[in-house]
Amino acid sequence: MAEQKQKVLIIGAGLCGLTLARKLQRSGYEAKILEARKRTGGRIETINTADGTPIEMGATWLGAKHTALTALLEELEIGITEQYLSDRAIYEPLSTSPPQLVQLPANDAPSYRIEGGSSRLIKTLEGALLPESIIYANRVTALDFTASQVEMKTSTSNRQEASYTADIVVSTLPPRLVSQTINIEPVLPADFVAIAMQTHTWMGESIKFGFSFAEPFWRSEQLSGTLVSNVGPVNEMYDHSRDAEGRFGLKGFLSGAYARLPQNERRELITRQLKKYYGDKMDDFLSYEDRVWSQEPYTYKPSKIGLMPHQNNGNPVYRQAFQEGRFYIAGSETASQFPGYMDGAVRSANWVFDQIAS
């Protein structure tokens, strides 16, 4: 009789959780995912605007050095395309000085985007899982590691409680979210909790926005879709077009100080700034989208102390099993290489799989 492999429950249906579930199921494990949202992807979210232009609200770019991610894309037969980057950029150093059009050096390490959008990777992984592998709208509230099993309690979208049991649990949530939102018994070591609470959440304070247009007017000789501004509210922006599909857009990052404004007020402020460079052409946008990640409760909890970007990402404390080998803390922030990137999420899934399957 074949040995019955362990039952694994995974918290979070983002890139890490989906990658891990696929690997476990392909190796004969009973693996299910508990997801608090009603969608997969976590911090990967491609929005198709009203005019059909896909705009990334979350993770977007990868590089040739991200070999774990590129290997997964190749395995799934998903292509990548090079990010369009002009040889010039709009640079705004001071509010008292006019913006400048500056030449950019040759780019020896181009960035790439996933063909069809980052969410294509998520949907492909989701489609590779066994039916009913993902339990949606279930927020994990408690884990009780007894002598014989792990008991998990969740709260559903209509505030009903549900419970599950497993041999092993893997959390792919940002470490600080684990410490702040899940009651774990026995409690995790104090030194781990201290590090987790001081671990920066990738994308947590980001505000991403995107406009779609009928034509890429910013590609004229006196303009650029690349922007760097010390004035704001937009501090970075890039061409976000899909030329082969005839879809054109601009995507950028807004200062986190504007998180509490209504979306229409953020849009007005951004439009006003971009009109300094592009004039009335900005009034011709087809769609506007933005995502304030600090307002996503299943991604982010505010910290009482100031954290630097990527602080404690990749800390060695995450590369161990807890609760006598039955609990792993995974996710992009925990990876030994490229933490805080999509590649880190894949590497973390690969590492946890190796620990469970060894």
13-29 pLDDT, tens per residue? 999 999 999 999 999 99
pLDDT at residue 240, rounded to an integer: 96
The helix (H) or strand (E) run that includes residue 338 is none
* Percentage of residues of the chain with pLDDT beyond 70: 99
Q: Is the confidence at residue 157, as pLDDT, over 90?
A: no
Q: Is the confidence at residue 75, as pLDDT, over 80?
A: yes
* Percentage of residues of the chain with pLDDT beyond 90: 87
**Best CA proximity match to 146, nearest among 131, 129, 170, 166:** 166
pLDDT at residue 1, rounded to an integer: 31
CA of 293: how far to CAs of 24, 34, 197, 250, 313, in Å?
A: 30, 21, 18, 19, 18
pLDDT at residue 118, rounded to an integer: 97
**Taking residues 36-60, what's their average pLDDT?**
95
Work out the number of other CB atoms within 10 angstroms of the CB of residue 94: 10
**Taking residues 227-237, what's their average pLDDT?**
94
Q: Residue 152 is encoded by which pair of tokens?
A: 């998990």
Q: Residue 162 is encoded by which pair of tokens?
A: 């549900």
Q: Is the confidence at residue 2, as pLDDT, over 60?
A: no
* CA angle 66–292–272, rounded 5-degree value: 105
pLDDT class for 172, splitting at 50, 70, 90?
A: very high
Q: Residue 31 is encoded by which pair of tokens?
A: 């693996």
**What region does 77 belong to: left with phi over 0, alpha with psi -120 to 50, or beta?**
left
pLDDT at residue 125, rounded to an integer: 98
Q: Is the confidence at residue 164, as pLDDT, over 70?
A: yes
* CA angle 17–19–21, rounded 5-degree value: 65
pLDDT at residue 294, rounded to an integer: 95
Which domains can be identified in the chain, with CATH numbers? 1-44+122-201+301-358 (3.50.50.60), 80-114+205-295 (3.90.660.10)
Q: Is the confidence at residue 86, as pLDDT, over 60?
A: yes
pLDDT class for 4, splitting at 50, 70, 90?
A: low
**Phi and psi dihedrals of 103, rounded to 5?**
-80, 140
pLDDT at residue 160, rounded to an integer: 87
Give the three-class secondary structure for 207.
strand
Within 8 A by CB and 6+ apart from 238, the residues are 83, 85, 225, 226, 227, 250, 251, 252
Residues 98-128 pLDDT 10s: 999 999 988 888 999 999 999 999 999 999 9
pLDDT at residue 321, rounded to an integer: 97
Percentages helix, strand, coil for the chain, rounded to the nearest 5? 30, 30, 45
Q: What is the mean pLDDT of the chain?
A: 95
**Taking residues 235-253, what's their average pLDDT?**
94
Work out the number of other CB atoms within 10 angstroms of the CB of residue 74: 11
Say how far apart CA 328 and CA 173 lie, in whole Å: 11
**Phi and psi dihedrals of 90, rounded to 5?**
-85, 125
Q: Is the confidence at residue 298, as pLDDT, over 80?
A: yes
Cβ 295 vs Cβ 308: under 8 Å? no
Cβ 200 vs Cβ 313: under 8 Å? yes
Helix residue spans in the chain (DSSP H): 15-26, 67-75, 118-127, 175-181, 190-197, 263-278, 342-357
Residue 118: strand pairing partners: none
CA of 42: how far to CAs of 35, 36, 191, in Å?
A: 9, 10, 27
Say how far apart CA 134 and CA 155 lie, in whole Å: 15
Distance of CA 147 to the CA centre of its chain: 35
**Taking residues 235-247, what's their average pLDDT?**
93
pLDDT class for 304, splitting at 50, 70, 90?
A: confident
Give the three-class secondary structure for 139.
strand
